[in-house]
Structure 1
Amino acid sequence: MEALQEEKRPAGAIRGFAALLLALGATTLMNGSIFPQFDAIFMFARDISVTCSAVTLLGLGLAAYRMPHMLRHRALVGAAAGCLVVGGAVLAAGLALASPAALVAGASIVAAGRAVATVTTALFVARLTSHQAAVVIAAAYTLQLAASPVAGAVSPAVATVLFLAFPLAALALTARDAGFFFDAACHRPSPSDLSVTRPASFLAPFSALFGCLFLFQVAFGFALRFDEVAGAPRTSLFSAVPLALVALYVVFSRRRFPADGVVQLSALVVMAGFLLSTQPLLAADGPAADVALLNAGNGLFSMAAQMALVAIAARNPLGAITTVAWGNGVSALGSLVGAAAGMIANGATAGNPLLRAAIPAVLLLVFAAYVMVGLKRFTFAGAIDGIEPVTADPTASEAAQTPEEAFAARCETVAAEYALTPREAEVFAMLARGRDRSYIEEALVVSRNTVKAHVKHVYAKLGIHSHQELIDLVEG
């Protein structure tokens, strides 16, 4: 994996930090300064642009999963830069002329370009060493949150220029090195095909990790819009304190990034924020305290989620684009759903002040239930470690492969030799790894009878009668 982590020099970490901070800074300016300008012209423009960003990310992730050979790196980067330049000009015209049509068109085009810049930035960070990546992510998210209160004070014209320039700069800093992952994916079978015989090496599009990202972002999207002031989210400098503590730990401990510990801290902080929003008199400065906690929880979780996506991308370069794009895409969708709920809640509380406390209380209950039940068996560390490493070099010899890679390659060879269907090959690979029928039933989400039928077909095609014969066939 030396080719993957060639950016071990400090200069690579500095470049990754600058790119990630620029990408995050664009998001901060968007929420604090750009979107409030949209509301005076066409309030739904912000939702449409976020939807375009989510669709672009999900589409990119799906294309990388099914047809990676169609993703030409230079063409994609060129298109993204063009979207930022052309869309930026249309967006600026829409703001200057107060034109809803130009505003929506420009914002949507820019959103597509920003989505690609987000992916290339994450892929660049994935090429750093694990410690460098952890430091870069922790420091960038801390500074982003610390600077959030300043976003609303920037003049609209300056904010618009910076909002367009930041993702362009991030794209310029990371595009070349991100090409490593596009080149690796283009010269190998698609992840959807490889995952048939190597399910443990690829995240399925609807894995538990992506579900976790979506549901957490729903809560944070709600916090972003609920009780907002003049179309801008409330901010507090104190939100960055928990993130700064995590960043200091990461920098000086040199231990593995404590993703699950950060997620647990995030959940605790978010629940405390919802509690204070229902009972503001519990805090010395209720409104400032609840938003500080909610924003801190958002930052902590986003930090851990980004680290998980980057770590998984580093372990499996062939599925890196899908992992990063899909993860950011479902996060954007979650924020969109949460923001819509926040807007509905704002309208409801305007007519009934009692709902000002009741709605956050219900969300607190739902969020706590999800953390206690939904995350009971899920861990970020488990999701990362569960990904079996894959080499990105299509010319690597079997001797240079890890034992797991060699075993998986042998399973692929046997499956092709005996003309197993994709599903049969998947079942065959699990059986070869010693998985029992209950495991296969749960992993494939199929009935017991369906598993029995697949196993029967596999045995018949291979001409064997026992599990030991199957193992002997693979090892032979």
Structure 2
Amino acid sequence: MDTTERIAAPATLRVCAALTLALLSSFIVNSMLFPNVALVMPLTREISTYCGAAFSIAVAVAAYVRPSLMREGVWSVACLASTVGAAVLLYIGVLTNNTTLLLLGAPFGGLGSAWLAVLTGIGLANLGAARAMVAVPAGFVLQYAFRCGLMALGLPSSMGLATIAFVAALVASYLFIRRDARTILGSIQDSMAPTVLNITSPSSYVSFSSLAFVSILLFNIACGFALGSARNEPSAAGTLISFIPVTITLVVVIARGSISTDGLYRGAMLLIFAGFLTAPLLLFGGDDPFSMQAHSTFLSAGSDVFNMLMYCFIAAVGARNKLGAVAVSASILATQWLGIGIGAPVAQLVDGISESNATVAAWITMGITFAFVAYNYVGMRNYSFAETIEGIRPAHTESFARNAGESDASALPTEEAELVEGPRQKPDETAFEIACAAVAEKHRLTARETEVFELLARGRTSPVIQEKLVLSHNTVKTHVRHIYAKLDVHSQQELISMVEEATEK
């Protein structure tokens, strides 16, 4: 399928529209609603951001531990209703200068946006990496076009219209993404929890200690820094300039059919660095348009390029392991919200210091710049987003295979598989046991490790091993990790293949 066909596919158009509207709703909140709310109660944005981050973490934990809780209709109605109610409270609170209403609305203002961002990530994963690579930059380009239209209409001057536009964009985004997100959410409900599968298939999941999460946090601190500064209000010209890198990305995808995730990362890093580098021009009161706009323009452009990378990463990882798509989408987006929540107050602190001592503020900004560059040059020099994606191996369960409509007989229970490919031959137990013993001896497994290893080779899951050997969850996990390390394998399937090869010898 070429790029044109990928763009025209109905699923691609739906997910692209959902992403466009989700991004637009975030722009309306940050550029049109919260600035007005901050005049009455400055902490409203931070409260909403941290509550959104906490909610995303809760979604990630629920999807990782108990996927049966992932009932799309219940979550969506609750999140959208709470966000609409919060928007009304914030609007009335600003009109009446009532901080109590603002405090009531702030914690729930971000729930709908956070949930829609998670659903969008799931929808992109269901779309697949190739189509998502087109939908993501197209969505970012389209939201820029809508932003320019809203600014031309003078919407920022009316908080009432901005509130209506925010709610409308959020609801419309949900209507577009619901079908594609439900495909995965409905399938994982009856599947084995990722917390169990992660023991026998650790390479099917992105570790929470991965440098990807650290990078997402740092880059979104930069994004929060751009959003939080009162000096960083971009002009129409600045908005158009920050639109250029996103457009170039879409052109490259259309021309070549794909784009390097590591290339996006390097481009985002350079733009963020340029944003921090030009901060002194703003701090020391440059009067020319470039000095006034360079800082916010570069930071906004860099943040958008990195957010494109983030959504492409979610799509690629989720497409390889749809069982973990919800958890990875929610955890990455929680990291994003945390980064924004950290960056915005730092920007406000620097603004406050600059009013009395611009030199100190400049030194703080230079320190942040140095830390950012040092991390990316030293900490990330051997890391590759592309290699991380390639290292993710599919993880399937029987229920997920049936619900997702897969026809692979190996993913079905024994009775159903026999209907597809006929009765399976029972393996030669003696040859199997000899092969297991030979592999265990060759790789110097302990007696207990050998017992766990043989059960893994038979395709047994963690709960079965725990019950049969009367071991705790953590003990089994430790044994599996040691076995994988000694055998130099990364999944249960590789272990089974190793035994099968030894059996045939």
Query: TM-score scaled to structure 2, two decimals?
Result: 0.78
Q: Identity across aligned pairs (percent)?
A: 26
The one-character-per-residue Cα deviations of 1:142-194 (angstroms, maximum 9, x if unpaired) are 33346556666413221111111111111122223312222222212211111
1:410 maps to 459
1:179 maps to 182
In structure 2, relative to structure 1, the CA distance for the partners of 1:99 and 1:324 (3 Å cut) is same
Matched, 1:27 2:26: yes
Larger displacement relative to structure 2 (377-386 or 300-309): 377-386
2:213 maps to 210
Matched, 1:425 2:424: no
2:297 maps to 292
Query: Secondary structure of the equivalent of 1:262?
Result: helix
2:37 maps to 38
1:259 maps to 261
Amino acid in structure 2 at the alignment position of 1:259: T
Q: CA deviation at 1:228?
A: 2.5
In structure 1, how many angstroms separate the alpha carbons of the residues matched to 2:499 and 2:87? 61
In structure 2, relative to structure 1, the CA distance for the partners of 1:49 and 1:233 (3 Å cut) is farther
1:446 maps to none
Q: CA deviation at 1:349?
A: 0.8
1:135 maps to 134
In structure 2, how many angstroms separate the alpha carbons of the residues matched to 1:91 and 1:38? 7
Amino acid in structure 2 at the alignment position of 1:415: I
1:400 maps to 410
In structure 1, how many angstroms separate the alpha carbons of the residues matched to 2:496 and 2:254? 51
In structure 2, relative to structure 1, the CA distance for the partners of 1:233 and 1:340 (3 Å cut) is farther
The one-character-per-residue Cα deviations of 1:226-275 (angstroms, maximum 9, x if unpaired) are 3526xx566532001011111111122113x3111110011112112221
In structure 2, relative to structure 1, the CA distance for the partners of 1:275 and 1:150 (3 Å cut) is farther
The one-character-per-residue Cα deviations of 1:10-39 (angstroms, maximum 9, x if unpaired) are 221111111111000011111111011102
331, 335, 340: which one aligns with 1:335: 340
Larger displacement relative to structure 2 (123-132 or 387-396): 387-396
Matched, 1:241 2:244: yes
In structure 2, relative to structure 1, the CA distance for the partners of 1:320 and 1:470 (3 Å cut) is closer
In structure 1, how many angstroms separate the alpha carbons of the residues matched to 2:332 and 2:122? 12
In structure 2, relative to structure 1, the CA distance for the partners of 1:392 and 1:162 (3 Å cut) is farther
The one-character-per-residue Cα deviations of 1:404-452 (angstroms, maximum 9, x if unpaired) are xx9888252783544454344334444554x249x89xx9xxxxxxxxx
- Given that 1:200 and 1:388 are in contact with CA atoms closer than 8 Å, whether structure 2 keeps it comes out as yes
- Given that 1:184 and 1:393 are in contact with CA atoms closer than 8 Å, whether structure 2 keeps it comes out as no
193, 196, 199: which one aligns with 1:196: 199
Amino acid in structure 2 at the alignment position of 1:368: V
2:385 maps to 380
Query: Secondary structure of the equivalent of 1:410?
Result: coil
The one-character-per-residue Cα deviations of 1:32-68 (angstroms, maximum 9, x if unpaired) are 1101110222111111111111111111111111122
277, 280, 294: which one aligns with 1:278: 280
In structure 2, how many angstroms separate the alpha carbons of the residues matched to 1:160 and 1:85? 9
Higher Cα Rg: structure 1 or 2?
2
2:450 maps to none
The one-character-per-residue Cα deviations of 1:364-412 (angstroms, maximum 9, x if unpaired) are 111100101121232211221121112365256884359xxx9888252
In structure 2, how many angstroms separate the alpha carbons of the residues matched to 1:271 and 1:313? 30
The one-character-per-residue Cα deviations of 1:73-96 (angstroms, maximum 9, x if unpaired) are 221122123223333333332233
- Given that 1:197 and 1:408 are in contact with CA atoms closer than 8 Å, whether structure 2 keeps it comes out as no
In structure 1, how many angstroms separate the alpha carbons of the residues matched to 2:457 and 2:91? 52
The one-character-per-residue Cα deviations of 1:107-164 (angstroms, maximum 9, x if unpaired) are 4323212221221122122222433211110111233346556666413221111111
Amino acid in structure 2 at the alignment position of 1:271: F
- Given that 1:84 and 1:110 are in contact with CA atoms closer than 8 Å, whether structure 2 keeps it comes out as yes
- Flag structure 2 segments of 5+ consecutive residues without an equivalent: 1-5, 413-454
When the two structures are aligned, how many residues end up with a matched partner? 436
Q: CA deviation at 1:206?
A: 4.0
In structure 2, how many angstroms separate the alpha carbons of the residues matched to 1:368 and 1:36? 30
Q: CA deviation at 1:303?
A: 0.5
1:250 maps to 253
Query: Secondary structure of the equivalent of 1:249?
Result: helix
Amino acid in structure 2 at the alignment position of 1:377: N
Larger displacement relative to structure 2 (380-389 or 320-329): 380-389
In structure 2, relative to structure 1, the CA distance for the partners of 1:143 and 1:177 (3 Å cut) is closer
- Given that 2:92 and 2:101 are in contact with CA atoms closer than 8 Å, whether structure 1 keeps it comes out as yes
The one-character-per-residue Cα deviations of 1:432-475 (angstroms, maximum 9, x if unpaired) are 54x249x89xx9xxxxxxxxxxxxxxxxxxxxxxxx99964997
In structure 1, how many angstroms separate the alpha carbons of the residues matched to 2:179 and 2:456? 33
In structure 2, how many angstroms separate the alpha carbons of the residues matched to 1:325 and 1:356? 35
Amino acid in structure 2 at the alignment position of 1:314: A
1:368 maps to 373
- Given that 1:196 and 1:423 are in contact with CA atoms closer than 8 Å, whether structure 2 keeps it comes out as no
Query: Secondary structure of the equivalent of 2:41?
Result: coil
In structure 1, how many angstroms separate the alpha carbons of the residues matched to 2:409 and 2:502? 15
- Given that 2:11 and 2:180 are in contact with CA atoms closer than 8 Å, whether structure 1 keeps it comes out as no
2:354 maps to 349
In structure 2, relative to structure 1, the CA distance for the partners of 1:208 and 1:419 (3 Å cut) is farther
